[in-house]
Structure 1
């Protein structure tokens, strides 16, 4: 019973001329106070209960969101870590591939320098006036000697230089086409095909035309065998220098740290 309801009951007694004692009024007042206090407590309790429930719901929702965000962050971190590992492995593989290419070019360079010494050791022709042979016989003997030296050079190329070029081609076909840069592949292709293109390149450097180039004697001047043999060292050196630069750029190697 609320305070207002209690007052209504008391008023009814007053209207009916029923006399109430002081204790009755006092009891009624106490009851009214107690009921009001209980009502206020109950109201506050339910209000607080609702606030606690709402807060609890928000905590649960916040916890759920945090859990989802944590899972997303962990997934992203895992993907980044995995991608970083993959890129690192690719870098290491390309580095090893470049080192293998450089090793072959160094080998080609070393063998071609040996070939240069062999070519330079071919005796030059000069007439020996004190020789019993006539001029034609001297020329014939020199040409035989030169042919013998050139044959030895050709054998050296077949046994020591061309195998290196074949190893390079095999390495490019097995791994290089997938992992080397386009510029690196062009450098290695030029090196591999240099025995076919060296003369045209030489003419271009000398501002000549391979299709319209004549000797001072008005005779067509073509590639000589000595020039063909000597081109190997130049081709190997150029390929080595170019591939070093390309590897530094491709692998993003800081030259200042290397030096």
Structure 2
């Protein structure tokens, strides 16, 4: 059963409901994983998504911040939600498709401005969240699983616009990259996007602070699609829909997609 999956940090699903609907109409993924929904679950505009052919949803929400949701054309049941690092935040939701594939949708903490947990609690929370993810995968190795979301780390040198300038900037520091690598290794996860697009600069986020984000192109690849080794070879057609970042009133993230022949 081939299906296409998309992940997108929407930065308020209610504020950008029209953009989500436009994306669903234009791109038509079978599954859409949203992060930073900034909404209680009962306020997510589910009826509008159902009307477009996405009747299935699993979600965790909070008023005004965080929040994750998975919308699906395909039948899907909830497969759990973890409170990594004990933050009490809505940052993870999992859904299981009828073919047995489990989709984990994560919104990893951004980590604040200073890459030092001694002076920045948010950076410590980010590292603790990643450590808990790693430990969970060591304890129970995932199988037939996909992990997506805004992981808030650009791990490779060509995942950022300037590797040297960003080495001390949160999202590309060596300690964050190492923590993410440990998560990936613990679960045997394959970076599907880079499996398909192995070379070249690739970004999924561009700051609102840039007066002309497109021309400046100072991006980072913060949004990821991973798969366990038993299904990673079934993935193909990965892409970042950069043009969506240019829609009116956009999120600062662009959707990332991949197709799986399963």
Q: Which has the higher contact order (CA 8 A, sep 6+)?
A: 1
Compute the TM-score of the two structures, normalised by the length of structure 2: 0.22
- Higher normalized helix content (fraction of residues): 1
Compute the TM-score of the two structures, normalised by the length of structure 1: 0.22
